[in-house]
Amino acid sequence: MVKGDAAFERLDAAQLIKHILALRNKYGPRGCILLYLWYDECGDEAQLHREETDRFAATATADGVRFMSMTYQSLIPALAQRLGAAHKECLDYLVGRYLA
């Protein structure tokens, strides 16, 4: 949790910042994108997490950080569309593990 105006209750912003700093140190400011992949849920706490994730993403992007946030619920259908039947076994596993 970060104290002050940028408080986060559900998103571990400090951990994401550590990852951003490590990636920048290794690859430079434009060398990679940090993808925050997470599982979305229903409810008030999940809504707070979504709002905090959006706020962190907006701040990171405004600061020139290449940051992307995506849920498993949006990633897996996108992979299925892109990869098609050639990777059906892997996609079936992902659907069963994360979307069932």
Residue 35 counted as domain residue: yes
pLDDT tens for each residue of the chain, 100 residues long:
444 556 899 999 999 999 999 999 999 888 889 999 999 999 999 999 999 999 999 999 999 999 999 999 999 999 999 988 899 999 999 999 988 8
Q: Which domain holds residue 27?
A: 13-99
Query: What is the residue type of 50?
Result: R
Give pLDDT, residue 7: 86
Residue 5 counted as domain residue: no
Q: How many domains does the chain have?
A: 1
Residue 49 counted as domain residue: yes
Residue 2 counted as domain residue: no
Residue 53 counted as domain residue: yes
Residue 75 counted as domain residue: yes
Give pLDDT, residue 1: 44
Give pLDDT, residue 33: 92
Residue 6 counted as domain residue: no
Give pLDDT, residue 2: 45
Residue 41 counted as domain residue: yes
Q: Rounded to two decimals, what is the model's pTM?
A: 0.80
